[in-house]
Chain A
Amino acid sequence: MANLNDKELSNLLRQKFDDYNVALPDDDWEVLKKKWGDTQRNHRRFIWYWVAAASMIGIILSGLSYWLFLPSEQQLPSIAQTTLNKQNSSKITAVLSASVVTQKKETIFSELKHKKQLQKDIIHSISTTDLSLAIQPKSESAKTFTNIASTTQKGTDTLSFASSSHVNSPSSDVNSTDTSSTSTHYETLPQPTSLIDNSQDHSRKHAKKQPVGWLAINMQGSNGLPNGINNSNALMEPSTLDNRLFTQVNQNITPSANSSTQLITFIDKKTYAFPISWGISFSFPISDCWEVETGGMFTQLVTTGEVTSTSSSSATGRIEQNYIGIPLNVAYIFLKEPTFAVYGTAGGAVEKGVSLVEKIYSYNAQNVATETDHYTTTIHGFQYSLDGNIGASYRVYKFISGYIETGVAYFIPSNQPESYRTVHPFGVTIKVGIRFTFGKN
């Protein structure tokens, strides 16, 4: 019996399978078309997730960069170098320069230590009135020096470096007998505002009010105000979930012999779960009392529906809507103590629905559930909202603070799928979280 080598076998098989076909069901194209549609939607959703994640990372990085660079920018210009010409005691030179300060910073510190005693004596001997009189002829520079003098007078605590040590240092050379001289000269280099602002920090207590940023992890709930629609047993409209539940129950009902006379009653119930949002937020201080807050948040809105018939057939459905959003608020701090703050915020949020998942279960007479439908789709458009809150924060440990906010929110009708928000667009919110403070405090 002759052997059939591999090549001959291959040729034989290829010939055999060249036009080999397997029959497919008639609806196969429809099934494939649905799968293809789902794939495209998932792809679009993935892009949305990606854009949202990239945006959040971008915002967070921007915030961190701001915190990393802002404090040094604020501190460096504020360190003023004021030189006093000892030979001509009537001439006072205030030099403001970040670059010079960087080089002189250590020198100033060492001088402070060595001349601490001398400084105290000088400070006590300096008359603020004399200094003010001496600098009256110079408008801008005079104002600067007035602040320096004021700080010098009060800033006996050299440890409060952020606001006063840099002013004390040069003034340690001030001879009190020369300050009343009329031949005073000022030289003010760029960034005088920083000096003025920081010079206004008259005490260590005031130094605590230097703007700082924070990063927070928070959870927010929103309880809708009554608006005429009963939340727990809402009247179902013949649409979306409700319609599908009715259809499902109708399919499950087995017609009985007297079905023509059978009166089937449907009891329907719809519940909107209390919406809860999770998020990360951070603040950009824009002044001593004002902050801009933003970040990212995730919200899941769950709607459940139930339809039961007198024929013991029932179906339940659950819709989960997932939103990601970016809030933007402006905060005004009414009270700012080292460990405690009270503030108010106002702003809004833009949210994008990234997915809507619907699951429908039908129950037979033995109450055994079967999942009869499960699909995922995207949510078009954006949800816009406005909110105003009042809040308080309490520092529990160094840079860690807890905070709580409460207020009102209005979800602007934005053609979004039915949810707690569409039923209760106006609601009371409560937000709790933990803040991690950055920057000099």
Chain B
Amino acid sequence: MQRFEIRNHLYQQCMYSAPDEAQLINDCQQQVAAAQQQLYEGYARKMMGVCMRYVNDYETARDLLHDGFIKVFTHISSFQGEGSFEGWLRRVFVTTALEYLRKNDVLRESYDISTSYNLQTEEETIIERISADELRAIIGTLPTGFRTVFNLYAVEGYSHKEIGKLLNITESTSRSQFARAKNLLKQKIVAQYG
């Protein structure tokens, strides 16, 4: 322990900079404070973007960001180098956001719809044209349940089966919420940018 403290001190004294991601991860696993700061500086803004897509409130997203980084610092030793580190990080933050949503009981909305809506090329053009921030803002106006399923399926790439397990809902509920989310999104995009 004392060795790490000395190392921590030395790193902070001489402007720590890990030569590569592997070294950075290794140092974070050793709880080197300067490495943790570099990790934060490298990913905080991007992970804040992930959090914002789920909660649509800046301060809440910031709290989730901090909670997520605390989880990362605590459990980074469980990252064994399999897959991309950013992917692992993103999963941590998505899980943190989902925990928050579950705790606040906002995922219990269920809609039974049979019609599937597809966005059309007109909307595709609009999506390409508007900025990510504007798109995030529109997604943010969706009801929480729709937004969560939409983000998990369309952006993170989870299957409806996986989403069902993650959110403790049925696969069909996930499908229906995604379809409803798409329809709402289409209406909002056309209304604002059409």
Q: Is the CB of A22 within 8 A of B45?
A: yes
Residues of B within 8 A of A36 (CB): 36, 69-70, 73
**Interface presence of B62 (CB below 8 A):** yes
CB distance from A33 to the nearest CB of B (A): 8
Q: Is the CB of B45 within 8 A of A21?
A: yes
Interface of A is mostly: helix
Q: Is the CB of B154 within 8 A of A31?
A: no
Q: Is the CB of A22 within 8 A of B66?
A: no
Q: Is the CB of B46 within 8 A of A4?
A: no
Q: Is the CB of A10 within 8 A of B155?
A: yes
Q: Is the CB of A13 within 8 A of B66?
A: no
In chain A, residues 25-42, which have Cβ atoms closer than 8 Å to a Cβ of chain B? Answer: 28-29, 31-33, 35-36, 39
**Interface presence of A24 (CB below 8 A):** yes
Residues of A within 8 A of B58 (CB): 22
**Interface presence of B153 (CB below 8 A):** yes
Known: A19-B46, A36-B73. A3 touches B155 (CB 8 A): no
The answer, among A3, A14, A21, for a CB contact under 8 Å with B157, is A14
Interface of B is mostly: helix
Taken together as a complex, chains A and B put the C-alpha atoms of A8 and B123 apart, in Å, by 12
In chain B, residues 135-186, which have Cβ atoms closer than 8 Å to a Cβ of chain A? Answer: 135-136, 153-155, 157, 178, 182
CB distance from A25 to the nearest CB of B (A): 8
Q: Is the CB of B37 within 8 A of A20?
A: no
Q: Is the CB of A17 within 8 A of B155?
A: yes
**Interface presence of A257 (CB below 8 A):** no
**Interface presence of A267 (CB below 8 A):** no
Q: Is the CB of A17 within 8 A of B49?
A: yes
Residues of A within 8 A of B155 (CB): 10, 13-14, 17
Most buried by A among B62, B132, B133: B132
Q: Is the CB of B124 within 8 A of A8?
A: yes
**Interface presence of A258 (CB below 8 A):** no
Residue of B nearest to A10 (CB): B154
CB distance from A11 to the nearest CB of B (A): 9
**Interface presence of A368 (CB below 8 A):** no
Taken together as a complex, chains A and B put the C-alpha atoms of A201 and B118 apart, in Å, by 96
Known: A2-B120, A3-B120, A32-B40. A17 touches B136 (CB 8 A): yes
**Interface presence of A23 (CB below 8 A):** yes
**Interface presence of A335 (CB below 8 A):** no
Known: A4-B120, A8-B124, A10-B153. A29 touches B73 (CB 8 A): no
Q: Is the CB of A16 within 8 A of B69?
A: no
Taken together as a complex, chains A and B put the C-alpha atoms of A23 and B65 apart, in Å, by 12
Q: Is the CB of A4 within 8 A of B119?
A: yes
Residues of A within 8 A of B66 (CB): 31-32, 35
CB distance from A45 to the nearest CB of B (A): 16
Residues of A within 8 A of B157 (CB): 10, 14
**Interface presence of B121 (CB below 8 A):** yes
Residue of A nearest to B185 (CB): A9
Residue of A nearest to B45 (CB): A21
**Interface presence of A6 (CB below 8 A):** yes
Over the window 57-68 of chain A, the binary record of Cβ atoms lying under 8 Å from chain B Cβ atoms (1 yes, 0 no) is 000000000000
Residues of A within 8 A of B182 (CB): 9
**Interface presence of B21 (CB below 8 A):** no
Q: Is the CB of B119 within 8 A of A21?
A: no
Residues of B within 8 A of A19 (CB): 46, 132
Residue of A nearest to B123 (CB): A4
CB distance from B133 to the nearest CB of A (A): 8
Residues of B within 8 A of A2 (CB): 120-121
Q: Is the CB of A28 within 8 A of B70?
A: no
**Interface presence of A12 (CB below 8 A):** yes
CB distance from A118 to the nearest CB of B (A): 77
CB distance from A23 to the nearest CB of B (A): 7
The answer, among A16, A22, A33, A39, for a CB contact under 8 Å with B61, is A22
Q: Is the CB of B48 within 8 A of A21?
A: yes
Task: List the interface of chain B (C-beta within 8 A of A).
Answer: 33, 36-37, 40-41, 44-46, 48-49, 52-53, 58, 61-62, 65-66, 69-70, 73-74, 118-124, 127-128, 132-133, 135-136, 153-155, 157, 178, 182
List 13 additional A-B contacts (Cβ < 8 Å) besides A17-B53, A29-B44. A2-B121, A3-B118, A6-B153, A13-B135, A16-B127, A16-B135, A17-B136, A21-B46, A22-B48, A28-B62, A32-B69, A35-B66, A35-B70
